[in-house]
């Protein structure tokens, strides 16, 4: 088991993922296989293509509009990590949305707190759990109490709950206890231990796929092909190297952070149960109103909605406001994919996507 860095540098991150080849599954076929129970979503990848210039321009607009907010939130989160990990810090970002955030945190911790924190990015998959081989690799090198699990945002809190269940199972199997705490920029569901905010704002890295995440795909795990001591798999899109914006994203946010330091605002400290209640009420309401059979088909927040429109079969896009700059890219995706858009001014989040249910 050998780490690699993707298109990042060794000073940024070590991916505890195994680069593999995976057959491309068209989105419609993938959706049918997942919903019929023939395949788990982690066994399938759809082809990733480079975004057209018109969509890429929306990414640059989002960077210009949101870089200061992202930088402020990452500075805030770094301070929160320092406060809660007095015995050392080992960053463990959850691939792949957490990876760019982990890279930023690693640099900010060194630059402004004098802390040289190791950063690993590992796989966690709903229903499957965290990559135990990757955890063992980290724990051979770092004390358990130093681990900090990082992601970009929470949607319904599924990954936070999966993390807790996975670490509980790991404690039973390996006898090592770790705090099941998730650190994020935006905690929509009230399920993170430490968050910079609870706002559903546009974190620009969610707009793109591999080209803002070290040229690495979403993690893949197929129990039929994986070896017992393997890391979870990924596809490394080295052919996109000329179009890679991973470094641009990091450099731009770090430059904005430099302009704002040392004016770091305090952590978001609203009661977690408030976010949990809002999230649960929304899921129940939408499930009833739109006759959704499973909560898994409801994806709240800009980040989760973007993932649906990029790589799943979307049924409808729900927006709080159909003129907000934060959802320009979602409206672009919906238009190009002929996905209906419905405005609900009372939505507690900027956007929600519903996955199309396959009935035959």
**Model pLDDT for residues 155-210, shown as the tens digit of each residue:** 999 999 999 999 999 999 999 999 999 999 999 999 999 999 999 999 999 999 99
Co-location of 187 and 208 in the same domain:
yes
Enter the tokens of residue 260.
């704002």
Q: What's the pLDDT score for residue 359?
A: 81
Co-location of 252 and 104 in the same domain:
yes
Q: What's the pLDDT score for residue 360?
A: 64
Among 260, 294, 325, the domain boundary falls at: 260
Among 260, 282, 311, the domain boundary falls at: 260
Helices and strands per DSSP (H, E), number in the chain: 9, 15
Among 260, 290, 311, the domain boundary falls at: 260
Tell me, yes or no, if the pTM score tops 0.85.
yes
Q: What is the mean pLDDT of the chain?
A: 96
Domain assignment present for residue 1? The answer is no
Co-location of 186 and 134 in the same domain:
yes
Co-location of 279 and 148 in the same domain:
no
> DSSP class of residue 94?
E
Co-location of 49 and 100 in the same domain:
yes
Report DSSP letters for 184-197, one per residue: EEEETTS--SEEEE
Q: What's the pLDDT score for residue 265?
A: 87
Q: In sequence order, what are the residues at sequence separation of 6 or more whose Cβ sits closer than 8 angstroms to the Cβ of residue 221?
A: 42, 43, 123, 125, 128, 131, 232, 233
The pLDDT of residue 327 is above 90: yes
Q: What's the pLDDT score for residue 157?
A: 96
Q: What average pLDDT score do residues 38-43 get?
A: 93
| Number of domains observed in the structure of the chain | 2
Co-location of 139 and 238 in the same domain:
yes
The pLDDT of residue 259 is above 80: yes
The pLDDT of residue 298 is above 80: yes
Domain assignment present for residue 3? The answer is no
As a whole-number percent, the residues of the chain with pLDDT over 70 amount to 99
Q: What's the pLDDT score for residue 225?
A: 86
Co-location of 299 and 177 in the same domain:
no
Antiparallel, parallel or unpaired: β 153-154 and 182-187:
parallel
Q: What's the pLDDT score for residue 150?
A: 98
Q: Confidence band (pLDDT; 50, 70, 90) for 268?
A: confident
Which residue range is the domain that position 302 belongs to?
A: 272-355
């Amino acid at each position: 088991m050998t780490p690699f860095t993707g298109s990042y540098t060794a000073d940024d991150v070590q991916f505890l993922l195994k680069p593999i080849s995976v057959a491309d599954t068209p989105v419609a076929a993938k959706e049918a296989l997942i919903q019929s129970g023939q395949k788990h979503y982690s066994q399938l990848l759809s082809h990733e293509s480079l975004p057209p210039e018109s969509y890429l321009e929306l990414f640059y607009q989002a960077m210009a509009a949101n870089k200061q907010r992202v930088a402020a939130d990452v500075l805030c989160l770094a301070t929160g990590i320092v406060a809660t990990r007095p015995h050392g810090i080992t960053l463990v970002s959850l691939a792949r949305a957490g990876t760019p955030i982990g890279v930023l945190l690693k640099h900010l911790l060194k630059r402004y707190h004098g802390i040289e924190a190791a950063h690993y990015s590992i796989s966690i998959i709903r229903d499957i759990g965290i990559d135990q081989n990757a955890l063992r690799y980290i724990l051979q090198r770092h004390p358990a109490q130093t681990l900090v699990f990082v992601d970009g945002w929470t949607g319904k809190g599924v990954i936070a709950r999966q993390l807790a269940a996975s670490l509980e199972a790991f404690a039973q199997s390996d006898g090592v206890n770790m705090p099941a705490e998730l650190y994020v920029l935006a905690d929509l569901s009230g399920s993170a231990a430490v968050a910079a905010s609870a706002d559903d704002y546009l974190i620009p890295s969610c707009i793109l796929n591999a080209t803002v995440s070290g040229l690495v795909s979403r993690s893949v795990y197929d129990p039929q092909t994986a070896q017992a001591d393997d890391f979870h798999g990924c596809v490394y899109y080295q052919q996109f190297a000329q179009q890679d914006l991973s470094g641009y994203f990091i450099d731009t946010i770090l430059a904005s952070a430099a302009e704002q330091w040392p004016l770091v605002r305090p952590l978001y400290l609203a009661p977690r149960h408030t976010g949990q209640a809002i999230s649960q009420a929304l899921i129940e309401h939408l499930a009833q109103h739109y006759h959704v059979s499973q909560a898994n088909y409801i994806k709240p927040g800009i980040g989760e909605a973007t993932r649906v429109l990029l790589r799943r079969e979307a049924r409808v896009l729900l927006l709080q406001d159909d003129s907000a700059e934060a959802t320009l890219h979602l409206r672009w995706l919906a238009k190009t994919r002929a996905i209906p858009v419905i405005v609900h001014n009372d939505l507690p989040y900027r956007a929600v996507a519903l996955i199309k249910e396959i009935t035959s």
